[in-house]
Chain A
Amino acid sequence: MTEPQSACQSVGIVAPQTARFEEALPLRSGARLDGYELVFETYGTLNAARNNAVLVCHALSGSHHVAGRYAGEKEDSGWWNNLVGPGKPLDTDKFFVIGVNNLGGCHGSTGPRSINPATGQPWGADFPFVTVEDWVDAQARLADKLGIESFAAIIGGSLGGMQALSWALQYPERVRHAAVIASAPKLTAQNIAFNEVARQAILTDPDFHGGHFYEHAMVPERGLRLARMVGHITYLSDDAMGEKFGRSLRHGKAAYSYDAEFEIESYLRHQGDRFSRQFDANTYLLTTKALDYYDPAFTHNGDLTAALAVARAAFLVVAFTTDWRFSPDRSREIVYALAHNGRNVAYAEIDCAAGHDSFLLDDPQYHAVLSAWFDRIEV
């Protein structure tokens, strides 16, 4: 007799691993990285046929820590813990799930905080620009190292969705299914504008020191804080913000000061403070530029259908009705471009109030859609 199991469990205690790559990686900018490390985590077991691997690509502030918790932690701390685990929509009893920190990141993979072998100092602002395509190339080398010829699925939200899409275009024969969630085939001018405000906040912080703040033992906390505050405004919907914070005053009445009085001010300051203490300013700059540059149709005269013609994967595209930073209209562009190429694609538009952040939440319809889609993937 097997032990009774609860429907959904945690992957439990996990530990990151590091893969070292000596072969130089040519980058889209023309630069190259002569050697680099990628930090990653895995959940579940790679089966004998090696056909049950699922790659989870992270967004702007995510990491390789997708699910579970580290030894010593009381609670699960993975950023997509509600999605990944035994019995969960991305079921680790069936799939071998991989999370990887992208190049240029600040969670362990080679990035601006790492030592530049040419100078013996941290790379800082000299770390080369990395694009979505470069990340995918680096992830493909990790897959080679893990003995994974093709992925059962690649999934990502927001910037992670761009990576899932790019995988299907760069390595069409290595991706059987791709889930592109709360994402876009390219950013709009408005979206780039928000990124530019965030970058200017960092670049003009006197503590930034042109990106070489490490050697001054400083962190451009004010810039990072502002960048994150702007970001958070755009990740929530007007309604969600209104419902969560409204016009509530912390002291019940106006104090006629510039301290945090409204709850929304307090929330943004808290989010900004927390982020500025743990995230790297150069990583933030690099990553927002990767977002801005991504546009697979650019080399096809703006014709997304032509750009997606090489894709072979079956797609799931998901958008959220209240997401105005990555609106459903952008997701639909991907859907119709795939359909016009005769590709298999399903599109769900989830009625969730939380805006762009919805992709991280466990809305019942959203998770039911993912479960139904993953359940049909044969391994």
Chain B
Amino acid sequence: MVAYRYDYDVIAQWIGQGEKVLDLGCGDGGLLRHLIETRQVLGYGVENDPEKILACLKNGINVIQADMDRGLTGFGDGFFDHVIMSLSLQAMHSTQGILAEMLRVGREAVVSFPNFGYWQHRQSILNGRMPVSRSLPYQWFDTPNVRFFTIADFEALCAQSGIAIHKRLAFDEGKVIVDDPNFLASVAVYRLGRD
């Protein structure tokens, strides 16, 4: 059994049949398994947690054990159709570095992250406490997240870094948010390309 997350369906609809796909921080390989079954992709995953490596092997996933920051250096330019990073960007130190690498080895990048600007998070800050929610489930002292940013922050970075936003979908726990996502969405999913 593999974990199922609602952003999988969103990501899957952006992936074509038989594409070459790289999933950064692939966990137990659940998303790749979903893409192999629904899109017949040739998938590879990068993961560094020994337990998750074992889970991937049990799922028959092409998992490559590596630090995500270093895991892409061995891949050639434009080898993948899509490079995916699901809910991990906020845990990367070099945000710009990893985005540039994803768009080097992939034609498009698919990125999802928790929106720090979500209204519940803002309310928490106004009440004087760091937010803890379903999309940010950690306490401030034990979180693996190292970058806290909003949808607006991310789009500003894309504009500044020459990254084209091909598509954005925003969600509040699975429900699509169209108006004012920076306030009302807890998670955003992007299709990115080179400008």
Main secondary structure of the interface of A (DSSP, over half): helix
- B66 to chain A: which residues have CB within 8 Å? 332, 347, 349
- Which of A335, A340, A369 is close to B64, meaning CB atoms less than 8 Å apart? A335
A368 near B54: Cβ-Cβ < 8 Å: yes
Q: Does any Cβ of A come within 8 Å of B60's Cβ?
A: yes
Max count, chain A CB within 10 A of own CB: residue among B61, B64, B66:
B64
A339 near B53: Cβ-Cβ < 8 Å: no
Cα–Cα distance between A369 and B62 once the two chains are bound (Å): 13
A342 near B42: Cβ-Cβ < 8 Å: yes
Interface stretch (choices A14-22, A78-86, A203-211, A371-379): A371-379
Residues in B42-99 with C-beta less than 8 Å from chain A: 42, 44, 50, 53-54, 56-58, 60-66, 74-76, 79
CB distance from B23 to the nearest CB of A (A): 13
- A340 to chain B: which residues have CB within 8 Å? 75-76, 79
Max count, chain B CB within 10 A of own CB: residue among A345, A347, A368:
A347
Cα–Cα distance between A124 and B153 once the two chains are bound (Å): 73
Max count, chain B CB within 10 A of own CB: residue among A332, A339, A372, A376:
A339
- Which of A332, A339, A345, A346 is close to B56, meaning CB atoms less than 8 Å apart? A346
Q: Does any Cβ of B come within 8 Å of A297's Cβ?
A: no
Nearest B residue to A317, CB-CB: B64
- B58 to chain A: which residues have CB within 8 Å? 372, 375-376
Q: Does any Cβ of A come within 8 Å of B39's Cβ?
A: no
CB distance from B99 to the nearest CB of A (A): 21
B63 near A346: Cβ-Cβ < 8 Å: yes
B44 near A369: Cβ-Cβ < 8 Å: no
B57 near A376: Cβ-Cβ < 8 Å: yes
Cα–Cα distance between A152 and B74 once the two chains are bound (Å): 29
- A351 to chain B: which residues have CB within 8 Å? 50
CB distance from B107 to the nearest CB of A (A): 16
B54 near A346: Cβ-Cβ < 8 Å: no
Cα–Cα distance between A147 and B128 once the two chains are bound (Å): 74
Q: Does any Cβ of B come within 8 Å of A365's Cβ?
A: yes
Given known A-B contacts A349-B65, A349-B66, A376-B60, A339 and B54 have beta carbons under 8 A apart: no
Residues in A275-299 with C-beta less than 8 Å from chain B: none
Cα–Cα distance between A348 and B65 once the two chains are bound (Å): 5
Q: Does any Cβ of A come within 8 Å of B20's Cβ?
A: yes
Q: Does any Cβ of B come within 8 Å of A336's Cβ?
A: yes
B74 near A346: Cβ-Cβ < 8 Å: no
- B56 to chain A: which residues have CB within 8 Å? 346
CB distance from A194 to the nearest CB of B (A): 26
Cα–Cα distance between A90 and B131 once the two chains are bound (Å): 48
Q: Which residues of A contact B (CB under 8 A)?
A: 332-333, 335-336, 339-340, 342, 344-349, 351, 365, 368-369, 372-373, 375-376
